[in-house]
């Protein structure tokens, strides 16, 4: 049975507050009392709970993180960046997912009520922004990663989605491509809007147009989005898929139709997830700096907990074009 602080106080014939002051090396406890308390602690093997230590310090030295789920291909890199920074500072990470919808949000709310963490890192799950906004307004520090909806009022770390897509367009134009298809992500995401605008603006400046079709950021979605255009015989010699999973689906569909990549059709993705270097042919893509975004967001939150105001404007970690064999 775990020894409690109340048991230590009873045996040492002091209050729980005095035990707490001894544990935290406060100088207002006389020497003989402190020695007696420490003797009881040693005899009972008492160790304070992390929550008790956090309450004594006024903080938990734990950061909360709320994400939609762990299946997104780049999520592991973001989490590793966050963990590297937190561990180096001696902070813990309390990770919450939204895999079970409202039930998951209820569980997360219990952690909030228990003051289980000092600040929150957020990759916006669906149907959660109103609740997170309420928490933020009540004083919870929040830093958003990969702001999918361009929510003002939150500090955030993002990447150069628009410029990354523009780099992809310039690369395809320079390689002589003239008939473009853009396979977008869901329209409600901020990154979808930015990537579409970045790509199409470069084409417009060059006097070119593109066919835009909507996907869903999955491999099957990329395949389904491009198949009707291939079947219709529409002229296309370049496809920009707004993430690598859809780009892999596009490669599948082109292979099934007997279209050679990149000879007949060039394909460019976005993200540079692990599979991009191992597709056939290997995928030219725009690298999203996922790990660096996690690191930057964790540093921003910890800096705020140390007293630095959160910045009003997003911190942008730039993308980079990675040229491989597909285009």
Of the options 3.40.50.300, 3.40.718.10, 1.10.490.10, 3.40.50.2300, the CATH number for the domain spanning 62-159+291-318: 3.40.50.2300
pLDDT, position 148: 53
**Among 7, 11, 3, 2, which residue's Cα sits nearest to residue 33?**
11
Number of residues in the chain: 327
pLDDT digits (tens, 9 = 90+) for 280-308: 999 999 999 999 999 999 999 999 999 99
pLDDT digits (tens, 9 = 90+) for 205-224: 999 999 999 999 999 999 99
Give residue for tokens 């003002």.
152
pLDDT, position 205: 98
Give, to the nearest 10 degrees, the angle between helix 129-137 and helix 102-113. 10
Q: pTM of whole model > 0.85? A: no
Give DSSP secondary structure letters for 279-302.
SSSPPEEEEP-HHHHHHHHHHHHH
pLDDT, position 127: 73
Token pair in block for residue 212 = 């835009």
What CATH fold (topology level) applies to the domain 5-57? Answer: 434 Repressor (Amino-terminal Domain) (1.10.260)
Q: Where in the chain is the domain with CATH 3.40.50.2300?
A: 62-159+291-318, 161-288
pLDDT, position 79: 96
How many whole angstroms separate alpha carbon 113 and alpha carbon 309? 24
pLDDT, position 252: 98
> pLDDT below 50 — which residues of the chain?
none
Extended beta strands in the chain, E state = 62-67, 92-97, 119-122, 142-145, 155-159, 180-184, 210-214, 238-241, 266-271, 284-287, 315-317, 320-322
Residue 112 CA, distance from chain mean position: 20
How many whole angstroms separate alpha carbon 187 and alpha carbon 300? 29
Q: Residue 89 belongs to what H/E stretch?
A: none
How many whole angstroms separate alpha carbon 35 and alpha carbon 157? 49
How many whole angstroms separate alpha carbon 161 and alpha carbon 164? 5
Q: What is the mean pLDDT of the chain?
A: 90
The vertex-92 CA angle with 90 and 96, nearest 5°, equals: 160
pLDDT, position 296: 98
How many whole angstroms separate alpha carbon 182 and alpha carbon 115? 45
The vertex-76 CA angle with 72 and 77, nearest 5°, equals: 115
pLDDT, position 161: 95
pLDDT, position 113: 77
The phi and psi torsions of 92 (rounded to 5 degrees) equal -95, 165
Of the options 3.40.190.10, 3.40.50.2300, 3.90.1300.10, 3.30.70.20, the CATH number for the domain spanning 161-288: 3.40.50.2300
Q: Where in the chain is the domain with CATH 1.10.260.40?
A: 5-57
pLDDT, position 54: 55
Q: Which residues contact 38 (CB under 8 A, 6 or more apart)?
A: 22
């Amino acid at each position: 049975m775990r020894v409690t602080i109340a048991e230590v106080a009873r045996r040492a014939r002091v209050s729980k507050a005095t035990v707490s002051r001894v544990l935290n090396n406060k100088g207002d406890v006389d020497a003989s009392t402190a020695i007696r308390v420490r003797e009881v602690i040693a005899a009972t093997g008492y160790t304070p709970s992390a929550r008790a230590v956090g309450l004594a310090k006024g903080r938990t030295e734990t950061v909360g993180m709320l994400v939609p789920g762990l299946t997104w291909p780049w999520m592991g890199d973001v989490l590793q960046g966050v963990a590297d920074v937190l561990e180096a500072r001696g902070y813990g990470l309390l990770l919450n997912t939204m895999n079970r919808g409202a039930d998951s949000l209820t569980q997360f709310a219990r952690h909030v009520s228990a003051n289980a963490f000092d600040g929150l890192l957020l990759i916006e799950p669906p149907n959660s922004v109103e609740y997170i906004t309420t928490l933020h307004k009540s004083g919870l520090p929040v830093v958003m990663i990969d702001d999918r909806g361009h929510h003002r009022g939150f500090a955030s770390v993002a990447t150069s989605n628009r410029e990354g897509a523009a780099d992809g367009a310039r690369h395809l134009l320079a390689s002589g491509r003239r008939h473009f298809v853009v396979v977008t992500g869901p329209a409600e995401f901020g990154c979808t809007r930015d990537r579409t605008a970045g790509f199409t603006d470069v084409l417009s400046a060059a006097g070119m147009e593109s066919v835009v079709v909507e996907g869903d950021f999955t491999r099957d979605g990329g395949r389904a989005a491009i198949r009707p255009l291939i079947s219709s015989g529409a002229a296309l010699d370049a496809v920009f898929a707004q993430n690598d999973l859809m780009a892999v689906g596009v490669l599948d569909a082109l292979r099934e139709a007997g279209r050679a990549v990149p000879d007949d059709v060039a394909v460019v993705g976005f993200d540079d997830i692990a599979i991009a270097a191992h597709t056939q042919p290997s995928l030219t893509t725009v690298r999203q700096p996922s790990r660096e975004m996690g690191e930057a967001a964790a540093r921003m939150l910890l800096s705020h907990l140390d007293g630095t105001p959160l910045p009003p404007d997003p911190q942008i970690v730039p993308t980079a074009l990675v040229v491989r064999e597909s285009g």
